[in-house]
Structure 1
């Protein structure tokens, strides 16, 4: 799967990138849905790594690699969400090396599948 060009980080990820690099125990929360911006703004200044997947944009167009190693990444549905956009976000996080994504609203856990290659 093709990755987006470097530098196209989702909203608020640039602000938290240093913390994610420095603190392997930091948990990333990604809000999706019409209330995502408000949800993240309300948590600005807290220790929470609150990110936004903007409504109406393809989550696959963003570079989520800074979230890798901070498993599980927690997905928060901030209001009614489009199923295709939620699936796209989960796929993009896993594409960018997140091993586990936990939907905090439904409790569903999505896990990257390992593929064994023949030598």
Structure 2
């Protein structure tokens, strides 16, 4: 929460919100995730709290900064690599059957609804 108050205040004071906003927010998010991960806290909860506080402080990103542009693409790839490196594959194998069952039930229910609608008309 402190970052959510500190970063916008520093950017406003320096009059650099439009130029350096994306970089400052990106660095803050990386630091928050690293800090919360090392303290064994929830990085997801910390970044959501950061985003809520920043939005509450009325910091609005320009349209060119949405998704952090090329930097956001790189961070997305790093996120998937990090998740793949830390995942327990036994849980993935256990969840595959559940996932396939959900897909099968969904497709079956769609087929039944479409068939019954066809017969209705």
TM-score under structure 1 normalisation? 0.31
The structure that is strand-richer by fraction is 1
